[in-house]
Amino acid sequence: MSDEAVESLLLENRTFPPSAEFVARATVTDDALDVAAAADPEAFWADRARELVDWFEPFDTVCEWDLPNARWFVGGKLNVSYNCLDRHVAAGHGDQVAYYWEGEPGDARAITYAQLLDEVAQLANALKGLGVQKGDRVNIYLGMVPELPMALLACARIGAAHSVVFGGFSADSLRDRINDAGAKVLITGDGAWRRGGVVPLKEIADEAVAECPSIEQVLVLRRTGNEVAMTAGRDVWWHDVVPNQSTDCPPEPMDAEDLLFLLYSSGTTGKPKGIMHTTGGYLTQVAYTHRLVFDLQPDDVYFCTADVGWITGHSYIVYGPLANRTTSVIYEGAPDFPDKTRTWAVIEKYRATILYTAPTAIRSYMKWGDEHLEGHDLSSLRLLGSVGEPINPEAWIWYWEKVGGGRCPIVDTWWQTETGAIMIAPIPGRTVLKPGSATFPLPGVGAGLVDNAGVTLGVPASGNLVLTQPWPSMLRGIWGEPQRYFDTYWSRFAGRYFAGDGCKVDADGYFWLLGRVDDIMLIAGHNISTAEVEHALVGHPAVAEAAVVGRSDPTSGQAIAAFVILRSGVEPSDSLVAELRDHVGATIGPIAKPKSILFTEDLPKTRSGKIMRRLLKDVSEDGSLGDTTTLADPGVVESIKARYLAQAGSDDE
Ligand code: WTA
């Protein structure tokens, strides 16, 4: 084995118990929750629902489960915006800051709970004035401005379901999502700031709405100040119709199972699915997990770098944090604007105590170089989080040392748009961490492994991750496609929810996520996951980021094609290709050596940061590009393709 291969294995096997200092302040340090959940899962969830949520009318049945359809807290009535705002203000916390908002150009706002409540009520009244009624759908297409969470809360207040479309999506993507949801009103803006430039939201929205017969009105927020065309009778300015509304808007009592929102899954494959989340169960589980996994303390300043356009933003910027009366930081723009220190400058400015981000961001920070953190005071941080994909141990250790200063537990949180809330994650006051493992299912969550025939596996083992019992924040279906809901999640393994992820459980019971099972390659009869090979590549000091795919090969069935981003300062060379191949061979075995390695500046990713292996596969097979509309930067694939074709053959054996 090479030195680096040994080093990588050693990292995985290091353990990190919580420090005595952390434990002394932690909210949960024992296993009482697990004991209660194991004894009676329904009673456990009912306790959480009563403890964390204020109900207008109590529920009478905890869970009705008729696979694949669940109903939680049946008979209960509540309002989510009431739980996020009114009750905190009524309890005397109106002056607490809900959001410190940092605009990309450098402007800033601090919004208290009392102000947020007033602005949400005004917006809710304005929406009513635009004809929105309980049960309608409202589409939202905005950048990361404070009005974005306000829009979600205003919909929840009047009982309309929101469907947020990430502000970086194209007109076609927006149009398809609006039409699928049948939304009546679209909330958008003139533009959104991104790296100093303007994303022309209104222009894109106009193109989409031209083909959206259900849209009656478009509400337009002024943010970037660019010229926009307003269609008379359809488009209204926010500043004309919102600020003059009354701040009195009674929250609509909603049934626990009323639709709270649709969110179209970003998906690396296939037509987007309108994932449905309802009211009582969702709120209960996001509040519970946010409090537990982030060990929430009254003086925390919590910074989640996700966009509200993704489930992480819905659950852990808006609903979980506000239900728990958290003070959060939201940053509008790109982490490298005006320079690559911005994330650290924001943490220092607001004295953030918790940072929740994604491995793709962590690897970018690593690639940019440690000098961007140096000189920033990050001593306020006490807890770090990760979500979105497996975090490789090297990135974990970098995060631990450089960002956390060796004192902050890292909670690696596994979950999905479909699960609504975190399912597998450490409890930081008591879990001994292993770098790269999301550790254990949370109390109340049933998770396990099955083989391809659906047989439950003991530990240690490697197989398909399944969820074995219903959970309150589970998706309630795919909008308009009940059969697809059953087929996608419940048909593969009878009686269990199939997450689509491969997973390994080690002898100590730790869960190690291996990526999507459609990312498993079959090389000369061996199953090798793309994550394993990528992990090996990133374990080499020259490599910043890597993506691998299986392409068809006449001899081995599939051959591994690797796409590698080098760390800054490292020069690509043929000898480096050979070195990396040997490195993977030494780490995993000769069978896993990539047949080709292409050095690239960038990788095709969805806008939420997941590598679109399907596109790389097309490149490596020289096939058509397929649908690139969800791609963050469509130019990336073309440039990789040109380089791949130019190089094809030269690094093949
Ligand atoms: C992946 C994001 C490993 C996984 C909240 C899952 C992860 C998909 C992790 C859902 C993690 C998310 N470790 N893999 N900590 N978190 N994933 O719907 O493949 O955007 O199925 O939800 O991301 O992505 P989604």
Q: Any bridge partners for residue 450, and if so which?
A: 456, 464
Name the band, by pLDDT with cuts 50, 70 and 90, for residue 4: low
Q: Is the dihedral of CA 156, 161, 165, 170 positive or negative?
A: negative
Across the beta sheet with 447-450, the strand order is 447-450, 461-467, 497-505, 511-516
**What is the whole-number distance in angstroms between the Cα of residue 414 and the centre of ligand 1?**
6
- Which ranges in 26-170 belong to alpha helices (H)? 32-39, 41-52, 80-81, 87-88, 113-129, 147-158
**Termini Cα distance of the chain:** 22
417 CA: nearest ligand 1 atom: 18
pLDDT of residue 652 exceeding 80, the answer is no
CB atoms inside a 10 Å sphere around CB 284? 30
**What is the whole-number distance in angstroms between the Cα of residue 324 and the centre of ligand 1?**
24
pLDDT tens, position by position, 194-239: 999 999 999 999 999 999 999 999 999 999 999 999 999 999 999 9
For ligand 1, pick from 389, 411, 424, 497 the residue to mutate: most ligand atoms within 8 Å of CB.
Answer: 389
Percentage of the chain beyond pLDDT 70 is 93
Residues in contact with ligand 1 by the CB-under-6-Å rule are 265-266, 311-312, 387-390, 412-417, 438, 499-501, 513, 516, 608
Once rounded to an integer, what is the mean pLDDT over residues 417-424? 98
Q: Atom 13 of ligand 1 has which residue's CA nearest to it?
A: 390
416 CA: nearest ligand 1 atom: 22
**What is the whole-number distance in angstroms between the Cα of residue 196 and the centre of ligand 1?**
30
Contact residues for 30 (Cβ-Cβ < 8 A; gap 6+): 430
Name the band, by pLDDT with cuts 50, 70 and 90, for residue 551: confident
pLDDT of residue 629 exceeding 70, the answer is no
Q: Which domains does the chain have, with CATH numbers?
A: 9-502 (3.40.50.12780), 524-646 (3.30.300.30)
User: Residue holding tokens 């939420």?
Assistant: 608
**What is the whole-number distance in angstroms between the Cα of residue 501 and the centre of ligand 1?**
9
Quick one: tokens of 496?
């269990």
For ligand 1, pick from 415, 419, 520, 535 the residue to mutate: most ligand atoms within 8 Å of CB.
Answer: 415
Once rounded to an integer, what is the mean pLDDT over residues 272-279? 95
Contact residues for 491 (Cβ-Cβ < 8 A; gap 6+): none
**What is the whole-number distance in angstroms between the Cα of residue 633 and the centre of ligand 1?**
21
Q: What is the pLDDT of residue 620?
A: 83
Query: Phi and psi (nearest 5°) for 440?
Result: -125, 155
Q: What is the pLDDT of residue 553?
A: 76
Q: Atom 8 of ligand 1 has which residue's CA nearest to it?
A: 416
Higher per-residue pLDDT: 514 or 10: 514
pLDDT tens, position by position, 135-181: 999 999 999 999 999 999 999 999 999 999 999 888 988 999 999 99
Q: Atom 7 of ligand 1 has which residue's CA nearest to it?
A: 389
pLDDT of residue 6 exceeding 90, the answer is no
Nearest to 480, CA basis, from 185, 184, 271, 211: 271
User: Residue holding tokens 């959104």?
Assistant: 192
Once rounded to an integer, what is the mean pLDDT over residues 459-480? 96
Q: What is the pLDDT of residue 347?
A: 98
Q: What is the pLDDT of residue 634?
A: 65
412 CA: nearest ligand 1 atom: 15
**What is the whole-number distance in angstroms between the Cα of residue 577 and the centre of ligand 1?**
30
Q: Atom 12 of ligand 1 has which residue's CA nearest to it?
A: 388
Q: Which of 179-193, 357-371, 472-486, 542-556 has the lowest mean pLDDT?
A: 542-556
Once rounded to an integer, what is the mean pLDDT over residues 317-337? 98
Q: Atom 22 of ligand 1 has which residue's CA nearest to it?
A: 416
516 CA: nearest ligand 1 atom: 19
Once rounded to an integer, what is the mean pLDDT over residues 369-390? 96
Query: Phi and psi (nearest 5°) for 633?
Result: -140, 95
Q: What is the pLDDT of residue 626?
A: 47
The span from the CA of 363 to the CA of 527, in Å, is 26
Name the band, by pLDDT with cuts 50, 70 and 90, for residue 605: confident
Once rounded to an integer, what is the mean pLDDT over residues 422-435? 98
pLDDT of residue 549 exceeding 50, the answer is yes
Q: What is the pLDDT of residue 267?
A: 53
**What is the whole-number distance in angstroms between the Cα of residue 652 and the centre of ligand 1?**
33
- Estimate the crossing angle of helix 147-158 against helix 113-129, to 10 degrees: 60
pLDDT of residue 640 exceeding 80, the answer is no
Q: What is the pLDDT of residue 307?
A: 94
Once rounded to an integer, what is the mean pLDDT over residues 384-407? 95
425 CA: nearest ligand 1 atom: 15
pLDDT tens, position by position, 77-125: 999 999 999 999 999 999 999 999 999 999 999 999 999 999 999 999 9
Q: Atom 5 of ligand 1 has which residue's CA nearest to it?
A: 416
**What is the whole-number distance in angstroms between the Cα of residue 416 and the centre of ligand 1?**
5
Q: Atom 15 of ligand 1 has which residue's CA nearest to it?
A: 414
Q: Which of 43-52, 344-353, 497-506, 604-613 has the lowest mean pLDDT?
A: 604-613
**What is the whole-number distance in angstroms between the Cα of residue 42 and the centre of ligand 1?**
26
Percentage of the chain beyond pLDDT 90 is 79
Quick one: tokens of 517?
């099972």
The b/e string for 325-339 (b: 16+ C-beta within 10 A; e otherwise) is: bbbbbbbbbbbebee
- Asked if 191 and 200 count as a contact pair (C-beta separation under 8 A), the reply is yes
Nearest to 199, CA basis, from 189, 209, 191: 191
pLDDT of residue 190 exceeding 80, the answer is yes
Higher per-residue pLDDT: 45 or 1: 45
For ligand 1, pick from 293, 304, 307, 414 the residue to mutate: most ligand atoms within 8 Å of CB.
Answer: 414
SS3 of 497, please?
Answer: strand
**What is the whole-number distance in angstroms between the Cα of residue 23 and the centre of ligand 1?**
28
| E strand or H helix that includes residue 205 | helix 201-209
Q: Atom 6 of ligand 1 has which residue's CA nearest to it?
A: 416
**What is the whole-number distance in angstroms between the Cα of residue 413 and the centre of ligand 1?**
8
Name the band, by pLDDT with cuts 50, 70 and 90, for residue 7: low
Q: Which of 377-391, 394-408, 506-520, 547-561 has the lowest mean pLDDT?
A: 547-561
**What is the whole-number distance in angstroms between the Cα of residue 361 and the centre of ligand 1?**
14
265 CA: nearest ligand 1 atom: 18
**What is the whole-number distance in angstroms between the Cα of residue 389 and the centre of ligand 1?**
5
Task: Work out the mean pLDDT of the chain and round it to a whole number.
Answer: 92
513 CA: nearest ligand 1 atom: 3
User: Residue holding tokens 């008979």?
Assistant: 75
**What is the whole-number distance in angstroms between the Cα of residue 388 and the centre of ligand 1?**
4
Q: What is the pLDDT of residue 606?
A: 76
